[in-house]
Structure 1
Amino acid sequence: MVACVGDLDLLSAFLEIYRCGSITAAAARLGLTQPAVSGRLARLEEQLGGPLFVRSRQGVRPTARGDELARRVGMPLDQLRHALASGEDRSADLGSLDIGGAGELMTARVLPALAPLTSRGLRLRITLGLADDLLSALANARLDLVVSAVRPEARNLVATPFVDEEFLLVGPPALARTVDAARLAEEPVKALAHLPLVAYGEELPIIRRYWRSEFGRRPPNAVSVVVPDLRAVLASVVAGAGVSVLPRYLADPAITAGSVEMLHQPEAPPLNTLYLAIRAGGLANPSLALVHSRLRERARSWGPL
């Protein structure tokens, strides 16, 4: 199939569109106008005798023919670019990737897992933030991969289950002593209602899920602090501002140190699945495929976080 094309510019444009999921984003990365990139794609499709993408308002989605072509030309084109690069550029074997995720997990697990790849020339640009914002950036080709607590809904995104977070309801010892154990067993919502909450967001995204999962209703508690960083949530809890729900990987060291205590012991630990989200066809990029595979491999040894 490739031998009939004979034009690397056409293949390069195709591959960039495939990886971005958008002709506009591909044009920006190639430094060309959108009509120029559309024209190259049209010429390639004419030479191959069929469409490589299905167009929609959300961008483009590869056809079976497009998937096959990307698999065949992705790695050879990357190797050719590397061979033609200058000496300075050639040292960057794996190129650059833009990765997004919540600051807590990126700091504790994702960056330590990926750091060894930088010795092979991988350059990482990290964006920290909330899942919805990051997934929007991914869909619009501003990011290459997002570690997301939310399963993406955009049609041009693909999500792979990554790892489960286990959540704990914790508070400082002084507040823990104010909870009546007998009432907690009988009427947990009322037993906990006097405790102020330290929340990750105004809508209590983590706390609300715990209350509904374990107690069957939304928490009636007053909120003392809202801060979009779980490390800051933990610091506020330790300082006595209130109680909160945190993933075990963050809460366990504080529990061991005695600065917080578990306030409730569920029959089965509530879990939340995290996803590795990429654009459709993104794994044709060898660097992204390597990062994706490495994170999944490391997650298998972590167990629930």
Structure 2
Amino acid sequence: MDLALLRTFVTVHRAGSFTRAAALLGLSQPAVTSQIRTLERQLGRPLFLRQARGVTPTTIGDELAQRAAPHLDALVEITESGFGEEAGIRTLHLAGPPEFTSLRALPALTGLIPHGLALRASFGSAEETLGGLAAGHHDLAIATARPRGRLLSATPLCDEEHVLVAGVRWAARLGPGALRHAGPRVLEAVPVVEVHESLPLVTRYWASVFDTKPAAAATVVAPDLRAVLAAVVAGAGLAVLPRYLCETALEQGEVVALLDPPVPPLRTYFLAVRTGTLGLPHIARAQDWLLRAAADWS
């Protein structure tokens, strides 16, 4: 049996779509369709049920994918690991948001370096990291969205608490308890610092805590939460930040929490892999290591 046909089959099974699989494989959609039909003729059994949106595997298709995928992934690992690398060293390609990956995931995974793991990190949005994982550019991806479809599987990694903070000068102007008594309108004159013009963190916080939308646009936009924190410390205005990121600044009095809601907003991080790749020991070990480390993150 042609391994290229099996590779195409597994990709379609994971993607749930000929069109999506074609994009991942760098082939045309008719070429993918032709390869699947060829494999079905060889086996004498249908592997997928064609539907208006994508395809659904038959029982035979599911069984073949479960048996073939781990072996194909292992072959890919052999070819991509390089014959010139030091014996026993395996490279893990990790992708995720820059702040969380830099401050939490990478430091945790360095514990695996003495056990033969080399690390390569990439940063990006949830869409970028999950897309790169699906395309085979990464081995593990940390994202704030759960991937859909069969191509990727995900496990909740941890929750992060979001805190509404401001620089000391702005907090003093507002006065203690002002937000609790007067509501979010007292913040309309305070500049907003965010990671994007769409105010993703501020909007989520306002919806969760105040049941409304923020009235102000961003005054400072920086695509890294560490830069957002630095701007707030310098007096640029207010921001919504993960507690783990601003905890030290809060303890040192560099920023002030403007509100302590009974139920603080949370955001969940997911640890995603391509379906079937946990059969590769270095990926499985890294996933387990991160899940264990995350048990102590708060």
Q: What TM-score bracket applies, with the shorter chain setting the length?
A: 0.7 to 0.9
Question: Closer, same or farther in 2 for the Cα pair 1:265/1:92, shift >3 Å?
Answer: same
Aligned equivalents of 1:88 and 1:179: distance in 2? 62
Measured after TM superposition, the shift of residue 219 of structure 1 is 1.7
What is the total number of aligned residue pairs between the two structures? 294
* Unmatched 5+ stretches in structure 2: none
Measured after TM superposition, the shift of residue 291 of structure 1 is 2.8
Q: Which residue of 1 aligns with 2:289?
A: 294
Aligned equivalents of 1:205 and 1:27: distance in 2? 33
Q: Which residue of 1 aligns with 2:158?
A: 163
Q: Which residue of 2 aligns with 1:91?
A: 87
> Is 1:218 aligned to 2:224, yes or no?
no
Q: Which residue of 2 aligns with 1:261?
A: 256
Aligned equivalents of 2:77 and 2:209: distance in 1? 54
Preserved CA contact (<8 Å) 1:96 1:125 = yes
Q: Within 5 A, what are the aligned runs for 1:1-305?
A: 24=22, 45-46=40-41, 48-52=43-47, 64-72=59-67, 88-89=84-85, 91-97=87-93, 99-153=94-148, 156-302=151-297, 304=298
Aligned equivalents of 1:285 and 1:41: distance in 2? 26
Preserved CA contact (<8 Å) 2:167 2:234 = yes
Aligned equivalents of 1:285 and 1:55: distance in 2? 31
Question: Closer, same or farther in 2 for the Cα pair 1:201/1:232, shift >3 Å?
Answer: same
Aligned equivalents of 2:69 and 2:22: distance in 1? 20
* Unmatched 5+ stretches in structure 1: none
Measured after TM superposition, the shift of residue 160 of structure 1 is 2.5
Q: C-alpha root-mean-square deviation of aligned residues, in Å?
A: 3.8
Deviates more, 1:110-119 or 1:280-289: 280-289
SS at match of 2:84: helix
Question: Closer, same or farther in 2 for the Cα pair 1:248/1:283, shift >3 Å?
Answer: same
Identity of aligned residues (%): 41
TM-score (norm 2): 0.78
Deviates more, 1:103-112 or 1:56-65: 56-65
List per-residue Cα deviations over 1:69-91 (Å, max 9, x = no partner): 45545556677888999863572
Question: Closer, same or farther in 2 for the Cα pair 1:194/1:229, shift >3 Å?
Answer: same
TM-score (norm 1): 0.76
